[in-house]
């Protein structure tokens, strides 16, 4: 079984590698994600409600959208976007009341 230190070492390798090739500069990538998430939060049906599982799935899809704007083309970003959209729809249909 892996120890915490092994997970941390693996994370250090990933973060220390040239992730800019696939995700662009870290600061710009995270600024783009923040901008999309803020826009989403500003247009939610009920801006004052706690975040829901559907909100999280939507925001994770937006994270993937932001990643498409920097770095090299990564087909996984589009697969992940579609996956998060499917998760959002599944949760929405099963667990949330209708929106008026």
What's the pTM?
0.82
Confidence of residue 88 (pLDDT cuts 50, 70, 90): very high
pLDDT at 18 over 80: no
Give the residue extent of every domain in the chain. Answer: 4-95
Q: Residue 63 CB: number of other CB atoms within 10 A? A: 18
Question: Of 45, 23, 21, nearest to 32 (Cα)?
Answer: 23
Widest distance between CA atoms in the chain: 50
Positive or negative torsion for Cα 43, 44, 49, 50: negative
Element spanning 86, H or E: helix 75-95
pLDDT at 22 over 90: no
């Amino acid at each position: 079984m892996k120890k915490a230190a092994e997970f941390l070492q693996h994370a250090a390798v990933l973060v220390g590698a040239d992730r800019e090739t696939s995700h662009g500069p870290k600061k710009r990538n995270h600024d783009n994600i923040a901008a999309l998430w803020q826009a989403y939060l500003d247009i939610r049906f009920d801006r004052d409600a706690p975040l829901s599982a559907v909100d999280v799935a939507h925001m994770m899809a937006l994270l993937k959208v932001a990643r498409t704007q920097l770095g090299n083309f990564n087909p996984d970003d589009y697969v992940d976007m579609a996956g998060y959209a499917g998760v959002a729809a599944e949760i929405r249909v099963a667990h949330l009341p209708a929106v008026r």
